[in-house]
Amino acid sequence: MRGLNYFFRSGFTAFCCCLLLLSACHPTKKIVDTPHPVKLKGNNVIELFDSLTVHQFDFEWLTAKAEVEFTDRENNPETFDVNIRVKKDSVIWISVTPLLGIEAVRVLITPDSMKIMNRLRKTYTARGFDFLDDMLKARINFEIMQAVLVGNYFPYLKNEKLKSVYEDSTFVILSTLNKRQTKRIMEEKDPTKPIIQDFWIDEYYRINRSKITDDRLNRILEAAYSDFFEVDQKRFPQNLVVTVTASTPLKIKVKYTKVVSGEAQSVPFTVPEKYERK
């Protein structure tokens, strides 16, 4: 249980579970296809971004079950099941059951706070997002968690704009890097360079990979999506892998086993009086 305890003790709880984050649908009904390059006149950034926005996975309520494998900085793997309920732009509720279907941890995330109830240790924690900022040295908020959960676009920096389009095999890359500043194949690590955010887009205008590169902190955050299937006539990724490359590397693999949308859900979070507040 050491990996699981580190996972929640570190405050990375919400991010991992979500970075783990519509009529009833199951991943066994996959869409099998081979992506081809997106064809756009002049590689127009605005046109590509508009198409990406139109094809994003939209929902009011989302309910999902997933199998999660978490590997901590000491390379200790931990596997557990997760139940997720999301009300768009409002709340993310997570229940973690590592053994015999017995709930170990419950998490409630809102746009301004995270609440964590550890049933194994009988403790309760309430934090703001600044705790994750300090822990990861990266800006993480509710909007980013929600987008990563379903494979949608998100701006990492406030008012940051996408500036260029690059070709990459069967995908194209939308990037915040100014193409006129440097050719991508000639890029070298530069501590003075601003944070770069990239999105790999397939022919269905869905994100297959997102990457945030911060050379100043020698840190890379990536989310990779695969095995898309149809939910409410839109593509949803069955597999999600979140990787943090830094002095304290982390990896989270998420495999969705069930996804349902459109059905309002309860998000119970009552802390027993005997629980110790941390």
Q: Which two tokens stand for residue 142?
A: 């509710």
CATH topology for 2-260?
A: outer membrane lipoprotein receptor (LolB), chain A (2.50.20)
Q: Rg of the chain's alpha carbons, rounded to an integer?
A: 19
Would you say the pTM of this structure is higher than 0.75? yes
Q: What is the pLDDT along the chain (278 residues), one digit of tens a residue?
A: 444 444 444 433 444 444 433 222 333 345 545 455 555 444 588 889 999 999 999 999 999 999 999 887 777 888 899 999 999 999 999 999 986 778 999 999 999 999 999 999 999 999 888 776 666 656 788 999 999 999 999 998 888 889 888 887 788 999 998 766 555 544 555 556 678 999 999 989 999 999 999 887 788 999 999 999 998 888 999 999 999 887 778 889 999 999 999 889 999 999 999 999 98
Question: For residues 242, 258, 117 and 253, what is the CA-based torsion angle, rounded to 10 degrees?
Answer: -20
131 Cβ contact partners less than 8 Å away, ≥ 6 residues apart: 11, 114
**Which pLDDT score is estimated for 247?**
74
Secondary structure string (H, E, C) spanning the chain: CHHHHHHHHCCCHHHHHHCCCCCCECCCCECCCCCCCCCCHHHCHHHHHHHHHHCCCCCCEEEEEEEEEEECCCCCEEEEEEEEEEECCCEEEEEEECECCECCEEEEEECCEEEEEECCCCEEEEECCHHHHHHHCCCCCHHHHHHHHHCCCCCCCCCCCCCEEEEECCEEEEECCCCCCCCHHHCCCCCCCCCEEEEEECCCCCEEEEEEEECCCCEEEEEEEEEEEEECCEEEEEEEEEEEECCCCEEEEEEEEEEEECCCCCCCCCCCCCCEEC
Beta strand pairing status for 123-127 and 276-277? parallel
Residue from 137, 155, 146, 152 nearest 220 by CA: 137
Q: Write down the domain spans for the chain.
A: 2-260
**Which pLDDT score is estimated for 101?**
79
Residue from 81, 25, 94 nearest 57 by CA: 25
